[in-house]
Structure 1
Amino acid sequence: MDSSPDAPKPTAKDIAAKYRSEIADGEREAGSRLPAARQLAKQLGVQLMTVQSAYNQLRDEGLVLTQQGRGTFVRDPSLPLGTEPGSSPAFAALSTELSSIHDALRLLGERLDRLEGIVGSETPHGQ
């Protein structure tokens, strides 16, 4: 992104696209820190909220984690979404919900196995 005074100022979408591309291309490794939002906003000549919006887009896509007071970091794609501090609240809620559904399905499976065992033992032989 061109940060010269005459260049058009990047939008949040432009900033997010740049970092999305860098992450996808492996230029930014898992755990690496993105530039501080204030520093990047000053460097690009944009409002702080523009950079924050870009970082929020990346967080909502599950690409980065934001940790209050520490910064924004590239997320490790090998870890389940929503399980790390600084994950998108939507992913964290989804992870919790999926865990509850998994537990409920496991319990239903156990009940079904017991019921099939009872029904199987009560069926007279030869039928």
Structure 2
Amino acid sequence: MAFNKVHHIAIICSDYQKSKHFYVEVLGLEILNEVYREERQSYKLDLALNGDYIIELFSFPNPPKRPSRPEALGLRHLAFEVDNVSIERQKLIEKGVNVEPIRTDEFTGRKFTFFADPDNLPLELYEK
């Protein structure tokens, strides 16, 4: 295989407007493209981080629930690299996001913390 990079991550949300607000206004991702697909009753929102396309946010009517905690099988979480976990954690708290206490990775010595999106998808801040 000759992969170049991860192209994007697709997320299906239960409340499109709430999730759009979270990813754009709270996390600060940029909107690249937004379309409503009438035939599927579905929004598709392409989001970028620092100009790089990373998340495809979808809405579908009545999506089935997927367990994410505790440690359910499948994709575990989405991690964002940051320069300073303490500073970024405080910014999330100031925006009303519930963020776990900061921990230290026992193998790398790097700081990290977890929080969740509106559908309880686990998200992580990991210090560079």
Which TM-score band (shorter chain)? under 0.3
Q: Structure 2 length normalisation: TM-score?
A: 0.24
In terms of fraction of residues, the more helix-rich structure is 1
Q: State TM-score, norm by structure 1.
A: 0.24
Give 1 or 2 for the bigger CA radius of gyration.
Answer: 1
Larger strand proportion of the pair: 2
